[in-house]
Chains A and B, each alone.
Chain A
Amino acid sequence: DIVLTQSPATLSVTPGESVSLSCRASQGISTSIHWYQQKSNESPRLLIKYASQSISGIPSRFSGSGSGTDFTLSINRVESEDFSVYYCQQSYSLPLTFGSGTKLEIK
């Protein structure tokens, strides 16, 4: 199975700061990575597909980059509603797997 390692586990920031969240795959997966946001007691929400492709209805402050083994989710000027957990997911090979998540919290 492909292992996705997310870092950091927790990121403490002040609203208005810009942040980058990392997801590293255990083998090359091209751009087969997708990002989700999960707020407490809610279902995950798709933010970015195929490493960098935007999703309709998602604010433009969310962007993604990377290919191969290293991927980044960037949030430009974090807003209060962005404090939640972020997961990456790979679709390069079955079984589909997720990273362990990065919790974005208010400093």
Chain B
Amino acid sequence: EVQLQQSGAELVKPGASVKLSCKTSGYTFSNYYMSWLKQMPGQNIEWIGNIYGGNGGTGYNQKFKGKATLTVDKSSSTAYMDLSSLTSEDSAVYFCAREDNSGDYFDYWGQGVMVTVSS
């Protein structure tokens, strides 16, 4: 069974950084892309970017370049996302989601993690 388990909720101060994790199981991590997505409360879903589990190759939505940095640890089948220089606009739920082999849609999702930026 494919599973994506995300780390717990974060409360961070403005200007700080946070690193989110997405630990996977039930499939060959290195054969798939993992995407990260943002959903502000009651809002639309935004695609942040993706990373290939095999070689760590990345692609970013221009909107999130400089804000998000994606990495992987193949040894633990875990994907990570660093968010930097946090502001209130970064308060949201962040999802990791596995892309299907075509890279067109998301077939498995993590449970999401709430990041709250507040002093």
Which A residues form the contact surface with B (CB < 8 A)?
A: 32, 34, 36, 43-46, 49-50, 87, 89, 91, 94-101
B63 touches A89 (CB 8 A): no
A46 touches B107 (CB 8 A): yes
User: Nearest chain B CB to A6's CB is how many angstroms away?
Assistant: 10
In the docked arrangement, what's the CA distance between A45 and B104, Å? 15
Answer whether residue B53 sits at the interface, using C-beta atoms and an 8 A cutoff.
Answer: no
Could you tell me how many residues of chain B have their Cβ less than 8 Å away from some Cβ of chain A? 22
Kindly list chain B residues whose C-beta atoms are within 8 Å of the C-beta of A89.
45, 105-106
In the docked arrangement, what's the CA distance between A50 and B105, Å? 9
User: Nearest chain B CB to A60's CB is how many angstroms away?
Assistant: 19
Q: Which of B24-32, B67-75, B108-116 contacts A (4 or more CB under 8 A)?
A: B108-116
Which B residues form the contact surface with A (CB < 8 A)?
A: 35, 44-47, 59, 61-63, 95, 97, 100, 102-107, 109-112
Nearest residue in A to B44 (C-beta to C-beta)?
A100
Interface of B is mostly: mixed
User: Nearest chain B CB to A89's CB is how many angstroms away?
Assistant: 7
From A32, A34, A97, B47 is in contact (CB under 8 Å) with A97
Kindly list chain A residues whose C-beta atoms are within 8 Å of the C-beta of B111.
43
In the docked arrangement, what's the CA distance between A49 and B107, Å? 10
